[in-house]
Structure 1
Amino acid sequence: MLRRITPALLTILVVSLGVAALAARPPQDSPRRTADFVVLAGVAGLRWEDVDPQRTPTLWRMAQEGSIGSLSVRSAHRPTCPVDGWLTVGAGSFAAWNGSRSPEGCPKAGVTVEQPDGIGANLPDQESVVQHNQQRLPWGALPGSLSESVRCSVAVGPGAAVAAARPFGRVDRYAPALPADPRPLLGACVLSIVDLGTVEGTDAATRAAEVRAADAQLARVLAARPPRSLVLVAGISDTAQSSRLHVAVAHGPGWERGWLTSASTGRDGYLQLVDLAPTALAALGRPMPERLFLGRPAVSVGGRPADLAEAIDAPADADREAAAQRDVSGVFFAVLAGVQVLLALGILPLLRRARPHAGPTGPNPVSGRIVAVVELLLVAVAVTVPAALLADAVPWWQGDHPGWIFAGVTALLVAAGTAAVRFAPGYAGTLGPLGAVAGLTALVVGLDVLTGARLQLNGVVGYSALQGGRYSGLSTVGLGVFLAGALLAGGWLAQRVPRGWRPAVTVAVGGLAVVVVGSPYLGADPVGAIALTAGVSVAAVISAGGWLTISRLAWAAMAALAVGIGFGVVDLRRPPAERGSLGRFLSALGDGTGGFTVHRSSTENFETLVNSPLTVLALTGGLLVWFALLQPWGGLMRLFGIYPAVRAALGGTVVAAVLGGLLDGAALDVMGAAAAVLVPMAVLASLRVLGHAADRTRPVPGRFRESGADDDSGSGGVGPTGGDDIPTGGGPLGAAHPRPVSGPPASAPAAAPAPDAPTAGPDGPAEPPAGGSAVAPRQATRSSTEVAAS
């Protein structure tokens, strides 16, 4: 009865941990009304490196007194051109102007603005722009949503007209430039949008002149601002092919000396372009069109340095790091994929010759030195991604050659990690390297998440604020390597305990990993937590032996569904402004707008599948496992038979990685990141198991229980404790002679059989090793584990 209810109890435990981790949320400052008027001033291309007391005294004073942050100007088009940025401001969602884009950058053509009555204006192209965003783009943005949320709005300049135009093209109040006295115009409506110009100069002198001109216009706006008003200054777009982070400043009552942040980023000092519209409405105390706005209202939080120069250095340095990350990340993953492909091709001949030949003739044994070098290479490849994550602790992006500096730091960390694994206790065991690499990987990623995921933000193996997809928690690559490390570590630990305790150990380690991945305080990835729940459930039900049956797969699916449904119910009970991504998706399904989310996810999956180097890693690993490791000569099936908990961990990792990638719109990226750790360790463990394929050990009375007893031999366990007692390191594949379980004392060598004498096997006498065999004479014994496996 206990065995029958164990899957149900484990499922309930995993579901409880998952829902508890996802339901807890950090406290959020509720947006409140802080102003009677809002003035949104935009400068296309303005970056923090342009701001200093001499060139921009007005903006410097605003930043000193107000709140600042880095603005990600993501829109529905990349790069975000000025007209796309203004349109996104007015839509509160990712939008883009229709028309073609040149490969060189943004189009120079201006926006047509008609003034039939001298008061407002009309945009004749607005109708086609609305249709383009509603029907052809996956975000379903409605340009003009911001102006539709207030009674009237003012626009100054053509860019501001794009942001202030209603869906049918009407601008309530319009002026092509600031009048001599802007006070009446800026006080005519509660919302004013001002185009302060564009900063697009490539040389220092031209850029400085454009920045000074924009700052002078800003000074006139501040002098004419209405009483009790909030002024938002934003670098609303890029002006070149390469995306950058831009300026965001909020100045007014309640915005004193802090960092800007929002629920859409979850990171202090970071804001999205789509957050500007909700921020303006929240400051005015107006309701927001939740179904149309993807952004969230900005708030001011503490922790900013008192010295403004020091505070500005942080977003300026983040912009430099993000720019360098974009150039280095693609090269890093391409090189990693190439190395893994070459290593996979090179390992095939070694796998063919790994198993010692038991007959009179056979291939010559592989040199122990060659095998040792190959094992170290496999370890080095497996720790490369965690090493690249740690490399971001060094400011490599500040040098003249950031790519080479990053490569050097990563190489040193890879060497250090490989040495740590090589000299770790238990490295000689068959599962020693696997356990050490898995533990090291989970530890590195876990510690980074526990300390705020600082290494993943703008990191080479993390996420970029320029992309606008994620600003806190686990990245796609981080999720892949963490779930691989956590599940492999759980399988390694489970293999060292009696069979009955293995599911409990797997659930304990996997449940902790679910909390780390899903908690908004830590990994902040509810989709990843749901996928990992399924992987942990699969690993738990087969960790004690047996196959993944339909009933066991059903338990795993039920656990994942229960976590998803439980969290969805909890998330839907929150106010709309506080819901997470799952709650917003379920709400969209209820009102019939969930198709946009499904369409975006499928589009992202396809684009990622085609363009990502991690797809190569996933496919290479899958081909190597299927056509080599799972073959009779590959060793992986033998490894699975001897170590069922490791087989469970590998299976659970594949399930979690594939589900996590597909549900999160990342295709095979999560699986590719997991394969970077998983496949090298599977190859190494298979090589070591094959090295013991011809070992022999005499049966010793009392070593095992009587036939029919409930021991671990039938489930592939090792000895009475199920531990790893196959030390390796000296045979033809680096394998040492197994530890003797009994026998005559070392002082009586005469009692030992001659090297070429037959030894008794479990079923009778074994044939003596021939001189031409690949098995060394000292390998004429076989461990109890191999006896059980065969």
Structure 2
Amino acid sequence: MSEEKPEVPATDPPPVHWRVKARSHGSRLWRAHWRLVAAWAAVVVLALTTAVQLLPDRAPSHRPESYATYAVVVGIPGLRWGDVDPRNTPTLWELADTGAVASLSVDSASTVTCPLDGWLTLSAGAAASAGTRVGDNGCSGVSPETVEQAPDTASAYVNQLELIANNNRTDEPGVEIGSLPGAVRCATAIGPGAAWGAASPTGRVDRYAATVPEDPDALSALLTECLLSMVDLGRLPEDGSERAEAVAAADAVLARIVAARPVDSLLMVAGLSDVSASPHLHAVIAQGGGFDGGWLTAAGTGREGYLRLIDLAPTVVSALDRPMPSPFAGVPAAVLEGRDSDMASVVAQLTDVDAEAAAQQDAIMRLLTVVAIAGLLLFVAATPILHRIRRGAGQAARRVPTIWTFRAVVSAATALALALPAATLVDFIPWWRASHPMVALMASTVLIVLVLTALVLVAPRRRSPMGLMITVSLVGVVVVGADVLTGARLQFDGIAGYSALNSAGNAGLGPLGLGVFATSLMMAAGCAAQGVTRAYRPLVIVAAGCVGIWIVGSPYLGDDPAGAVGLTVAVCLAAGMAPGGWLTFARLAWASFAGLGLLVALAVADLARDESQRGALGSFVADVFGGAGAGRIRETLEADVLATVGNPLTVLLLGSIVFAWVVLLRPSGGLKRSFGLYPSARAGFVGAIIATLLGGLLGGQGLVPVGAAAAITMPLAVIMAQRVLARAHVRDGRAEPTDLAVQARPESIEAAGGVTVESRG
């Protein structure tokens, strides 16, 4: 017999201290989420590395080492490089040959910069406005009746200037009309427009003459009475033979000024404004005072041969070696060597640049309208096809679409997703030189879209939902990324970029470029992460995201701090969602902290740079600490509204929201099933929307970037939903192999982790 063991009385387990419990719970959380924390830390480290600013100066130029004793600024509102000719304008031609030249962006606080707006912007050294409107005959010149000559003195008084100066001070914080004449203490004006530019904020002009004196000695004496002289040679007609005659007459007067100008003086000739509602780039020449050849440029533009109207006043003050007034928004011009010695080639190049900029203004809206209409048509066509796939089973089954219908939808969606990258590449073709620029543009864009679509559809793994989406997304990443890394030539004055007419100070990504690059990057990273094990998906997204943050945020590349912040938040959210699960408050909070950290790092690094080299973020923070923060925030909000209203991509975005809510996210739409099967792709979709939405709103670009994102993500969503629904039918055995075999073949359920439910969250 076995001996029975004595029964041991039950006792309570020993108590566990609360600190031991907390430590054990914390260890479990760390073991579960250490990869996600490491991914967030990697984002912050890469962002801080970006903020270190190790690259060389953005504009490898030099400022003139010599200074001028006097400065003479000659304004010819409406003057363009197409007006400069060796026979009709020999004086302008000679000055351009011996001086430094550039295309001038005459952007001001007015929608259209008329002559009075241009003179006030020159006076303030910042974007100012006279509140004038463009009439049926274009902009009017400055009326001589606005200037009153003081009796028995050489001074004059400008009517209404004090009121306009106060209005600008209120409406445009930081804009102080009269800053340029105040910096030199004494200014001479010849002509009514010059009187507005040389007047103090109260309207007083130190020395004034209504016209250029005929006597050379009198003119020479007038130009030496003050350090700064401004001359208004009158507004040019818009077009026609009268324009050539007016330019020739202005050139003849300019010849007298050149002959009478003081020794060691800086002579600057500029087309200060537009003359009609059709904007143009204008001519600017600086000769003397160290400007003896080469291209004019400035740190605010970062491009050779481009200058802004707000840069003229700082250039004059710097050339005279006077203290720089704080209200100036521009920076002094510098000189870049390497200009062609053949002046005819230089003028032809600058004329062609103006033609491209003028054509781009109208072309970009028409092209975006075509893209928006094509997207809406795709949504309408895809709706019944997706519905018929879902309804193709059961006793009352309808016949599912044929394989050719599926192929047509995939081809059309792929072409639409590639439309904006193709629009970026179209600027390799000089379409604006054609006799019918719009026809040439549309034909070139369609041709590039067809070529890219054909290459994508014959690429390996094209029948895999993830493979096709990666290939399409990589096109956008490579096109925009390569362009930014090589100087953003296609962004500047490009169809999918921004215009030199009002963005000569932007040397990086434009709103459409940000939308294409950020969306393509997030989609490519999310779909690529689907091919690795769940534990390493966040690392794939973070690795791609860090490279994207560096490209977008670096002031020498994308120069878009708002886009970098939006992309940082998106990368953190996508990294958290890639293994599975939905957007939670904790993930949103961590991502927001990472974006805020990047924003602070970039702001501190930008503030540490020289004032003339600061980017948009550094200038904004400086204005905030200087008391103009409310005005800058208001400007950003106004820019958001203006960029959103009237943009065709806004209509496409609204249509995408309706299509996703009514069709794709319904049980028969297939997008929920797709997100359940491919959680990393879902993370890419969310990241693309967050990056472009935040980047656009923070950067004053409105909904333009997220509209570009809709033009890429929604066609890809249609492709993914269609193929997932088709594969579900093949698994049910309800479809004919000849109809859906291609759609069913790509990826198995096992490759997706064995998930067959609608959502994995």
Query: Structure 1-normalised TM-score?
Result: 0.88
Residue aligned with 2:389, SS: coil
Gaps of 5+ in 2: 1-29
Per the TM alignment, residue 734 of structure 1 is displaced from its structure 2 partner at its CA by: 6.0
Report matched runs for 1:148-227 at 5 Å: 148-179=182-213, 180=215, 181=217, 182-203=219-240, 205-227=241-263
Residue aligned with 1:691, SS: helix
**Aligned partner letter, 1:610:** V
TM-superposition CA deviations, 1:112-151 (whole Å, max 9, x none) = 111114311111211111122122x345522111111122
The one of 55, 80, 102 aligned to 1:47? 80
TM-superposition CA deviations, 1:570-629 (whole Å, max 9, x none) = 222233333222112112111211111111111121222221111112111122122211
TM-superposition CA deviations, 1:71-113 (whole Å, max 9, x none) = 0111111321111111111011111213554354223561511
Asked whether 1:13 is paired with 2:42, we answer yes
**Aligned partner letter, 1:11:** W
Per the TM alignment, residue 645 of structure 1 is displaced from its structure 2 partner at its CA by: 0.9
**Aligned partner letter, 2:425:** L
Per the TM alignment, residue 265 of structure 1 is displaced from its structure 2 partner at its CA by: 1.3
TM-superposition CA deviations, 1:664-705 (whole Å, max 9, x none) = 11211010011111110011011101111144499xxxxxxx
The one of 275, 297, 314 aligned to 2:349? 314
Asked whether 1:89 is paired with 2:122, we answer yes
Taking a change above 3 Å as real, the CA distance of residues 103 and 6 of structure 1, as seen in their structure-2 partners, is farther
45-54 or 578-587, which moves further after superposition?
A: 578-587
Asked whether 1:638 is paired with 2:673, we answer yes
**Aligned partner letter, 1:158:** P
Per the TM alignment, residue 296 of structure 1 is displaced from its structure 2 partner at its CA by: 1.3
The one of 344, 349, 359 aligned to 2:394? 359
Per the TM alignment, residue 732 of structure 1 is displaced from its structure 2 partner at its CA by: 3.1
Per the TM alignment, residue 498 of structure 1 is displaced from its structure 2 partner at its CA by: 1.2
Residue aligning to 2:299: 263
TM-superposition CA deviations, 1:230-274 (whole Å, max 9, x none) = 111101111122111110111114222211111221111111111
Separation in structure 2 between the aligned mates of residue 327 and residue 369 of structure 1, nearest angstrom: 37
Taking a change above 3 Å as real, the CA distance of residues 688 and 232 of structure 1, as seen in their structure-2 partners, is same
Residue aligning to 1:113: 147
The one of 727, 732, 745 aligned to 2:739? 732
**Aligned partner letter, 2:35:** T
Asked whether 1:36 is paired with 2:75, we answer no
Taking a change above 3 Å as real, the CA distance of residues 424 and 502 of structure 1, as seen in their structure-2 partners, is same
The one of 491, 504, 511 aligned to 2:526? 491
Taking a change above 3 Å as real, the CA distance of residues 738 and 228 of structure 1, as seen in their structure-2 partners, is same
Separation in structure 2 between the aligned mates of residue 18 and residue 739 of structure 1, nearest angstrom: 37
Residue aligned with 1:464, SS: coil
Separation in structure 2 between the aligned mates of residue 448 and residue 729 of structure 1, nearest angstrom: 46
Residue aligning to 2:697: 662
Q: Is the 8 A contact 1:161 1:174 kept in 2?
A: yes
Residue aligned with 1:198, SS: coil
Separation in structure 2 between the aligned mates of residue 216 and residue 403 of structure 1, nearest angstrom: 38
Taking a change above 3 Å as real, the CA distance of residues 121 and 424 of structure 1, as seen in their structure-2 partners, is same
Taking a change above 3 Å as real, the CA distance of residues 566 and 783 of structure 1, as seen in their structure-2 partners, is closer
Residue aligning to 2:11: none
Per the TM alignment, residue 360 of structure 1 is displaced from its structure 2 partner at its CA by: 3.8
Asked whether 1:133 is paired with 2:100, we answer no
Separation in structure 2 between the aligned mates of residue 577 and residue 662 of structure 1, nearest angstrom: 26
Per the TM alignment, residue 635 of structure 1 is displaced from its structure 2 partner at its CA by: 0.9
More helix by share: 2
Q: Is the 8 A contact 2:79 2:271 kept in 1?
A: yes
**Aligned partner letter, 1:142:** E
Gaps of 5+ in 1: 699-727, 742-781
Separation in structure 1 between the aligned mates of residue 745 and residue 39 of structure 2, nearest angstrom: 36
Report matched runs for 1:388-467 at 5 Å: 388-467=423-502
Q: Is the 8 A contact 1:355 1:692 kept in 2?
A: no
The one of 80, 94, 103 aligned to 1:61? 94
Q: Is the 8 A contact 1:697 1:783 kept in 2?
A: no
Q: Is the 8 A contact 2:68 2:264 kept in 1?
A: yes
**Aligned partner letter, 2:352:** D
Separation in structure 2 between the aligned mates of residue 12 and residue 784 of structure 1, nearest angstrom: 30
Per the TM alignment, residue 565 of structure 1 is displaced from its structure 2 partner at its CA by: 0.5
Separation in structure 1 between the aligned mates of residue 751 and residue 157 of structure 2, nearest angstrom: 85
Taking a change above 3 Å as real, the CA distance of residues 380 and 514 of structure 1, as seen in their structure-2 partners, is same
Report matched runs for 1:553-632 at 5 Å: 553-632=588-667
Taking a change above 3 Å as real, the CA distance of residues 33 and 561 of structure 1, as seen in their structure-2 partners, is farther
Report matched runs for 1:245-264 at 5 Å: 245-264=281-300
Residue aligned with 2:73, SS: strand
Q: Is the 8 A contact 1:439 1:485 kept in 2?
A: yes
Residue aligning to 2:565: 530
Residue aligning to 1:765: none
Taking a change above 3 Å as real, the CA distance of residues 788 and 100 of structure 1, as seen in their structure-2 partners, is closer
Taking a change above 3 Å as real, the CA distance of residues 157 and 556 of structure 1, as seen in their structure-2 partners, is same
162-171 or 90-99, which moves further after superposition?
A: 90-99
Separation in structure 2 between the aligned mates of residue 517 and residue 449 of structure 1, nearest angstrom: 9
Aligned residues: 718
Q: Is the 8 A contact 2:315 2:331 kept in 1?
A: yes
**Aligned partner letter, 2:138:** G
Per the TM alignment, residue 303 of structure 1 is displaced from its structure 2 partner at its CA by: 2.4
Q: Is the 8 A contact 1:356 1:694 kept in 2?
A: no
Separation in structure 1 between the aligned mates of residue 412 and residue 362 of structure 2, nearest angstrom: 27
Separation in structure 1 between the aligned mates of residue 190 and residue 695 of structure 2, nearest angstrom: 46
Residue aligned with 2:110, SS: coil
Separation in structure 1 between the aligned mates of residue 494 and residue 505 of structure 2, nearest angstrom: 12
9-18 or 668-677, which moves further after superposition?
A: 9-18
576-585 or 229-238, which moves further after superposition?
A: 576-585
Asked whether 1:789 is paired with 2:742, we answer no
**Aligned partner letter, 1:359:** G
Residue aligned with 2:742, SS: coil
Instruction: Indicate the percent of aligned positions where both proteins have the same amino acid.
Output: 42
**Aligned partner letter, 1:159:** G
Q: Is the 8 A contact 1:356 1:690 kept in 2?
A: no
Per the TM alignment, residue 172 of structure 1 is displaced from its structure 2 partner at its CA by: 0.9
Separation in structure 1 between the aligned mates of residue 681 and residue 194 of structure 2, nearest angstrom: 60
Taking a change above 3 Å as real, the CA distance of residues 273 and 603 of structure 1, as seen in their structure-2 partners, is same
Separation in structure 1 between the aligned mates of residue 242 and residue 305 of structure 2, nearest angstrom: 29
